[in-house]
Amino acid sequence: MSARASVAAVVLSMGNRPAELARALESLLDQQGVELDVVVVGNGWDPVDLPDGVRTVHLPENVGIPEGRNVGAAHARGDLVFFYDDDAALPTPDVLHRLVTTFDDPSVALVQPRGVDPTGLPSPRRWVPRLRTGDGGRDGDVVVFWEAVCVVRRSAFDAVGGWPGHFWYGHEGIDLAFRLVDAGWRLVYRPDVEVNHPATQPSRHAVFYRMNARNRVWVAKRNLPHPLSFLYVATWAAITVVRVREPRRLSTWFRGLAEGVRSDAGERRPMSWHTVARLTRAGRPPIV
């Protein structure tokens, strides 16, 4: 596969970062050693004036991040799907080729590179799928990943149902990781391959606290066997109280939690206890 892998590159954009999008596409189109099909999904925006070789999909309304990525994956052609934020950039023309060589192992479903802020700011902890994040974390198998820049095997992605589109924003990567791991696939972290991305905080979004809580509950309802589903939500409620403390934000978070409890999370496919053991051995027991 790695000689001339076919890669479907999906870039989701709301059209509000034209300079960043131009830089992202320029570095993407410069990639060598792979067959690329680039699709920009305009999430509530009609993509225009983009470089030659870029196909577009116009979504009249913003359907959220995971569903927008699903739409892009359905339109783009390739055995591997590269999900790529519109404010990211690939610093060298061999980034994709180096990542796709990992898929020579047929057990690998997903590969994540190391994210680096181009201005030198420290990388957020959530970018590193390791408990120990020093020096970017060690390479190898992981059970979580950073959604902003990753490559996934299309057959694995389709088999587990893709991103949970109704999540809109938040924890869609946890849901996808749980389902891939439960299906027996491997996720791999490649810190030797760097990509650029600004070190922003997710809490900058107005919907963060509500959807953070609602989608935590949905992840549990969809993926975890009882009683772990209840322990997972209770643990994160306790963690949030300790971390956030600010009453207004906590109130929003708990309203989101109640919304998650009351609402339909989608298809429930609880993971096996074998998967629970695998996650636990990796230092990520599914109660936290």
Token pair 């390479």: residue: 139
Global pTM reads 0.95
Per-residue pLDDT of the chain (288 residues), as tens digits, is 545 899 999 999 999 999 999 999 999 999 999 999 999 999 999 999 999 999 999 999 999 999 999 999 999 999 999 999 999 999 999 999 999 999 999 999 999 999 999 999 999 999 999 988 888 899 999 999 999 999 999 999 999 999 999 999 999 999 999 999 999 999 999 999 999 999 987 766 668 999 999 999 999 999 999 999 999 999 999 999 999 989 999 999 999 999 999 999 999 999 999 999 999 999 999 998
Identify residue 63 by its one-letter amino acid code: V
- Per the CB < 8 A criterion, the answer to whether 268 and 182 are in contact is no
Identify residue 99 by its one-letter amino acid code: L
H or E stretch covering 80: strand 80-85
List of residues 6+ apart from 11 with CB closer than 8 A: 21, 24, 25, 28, 38, 39, 40, 41, 72, 84, 85, 86
What whole-number distance in Å separates Cα of residue 85 and Cα of residue 112?
13
CA angle 147, 29, 12 (to 5 degrees): 35
CA nearest to 112, candidates 189, 171, 59, 224: 189
What whole-number distance in Å separates Cα of residue 45 and Cα of residue 58?
6
In what order do the strands lie in the sheet containing 34-43?
Answer: 54-59, 34-43, 5-13, 80-85, 149-153, 108-116, 186-196, 140-142
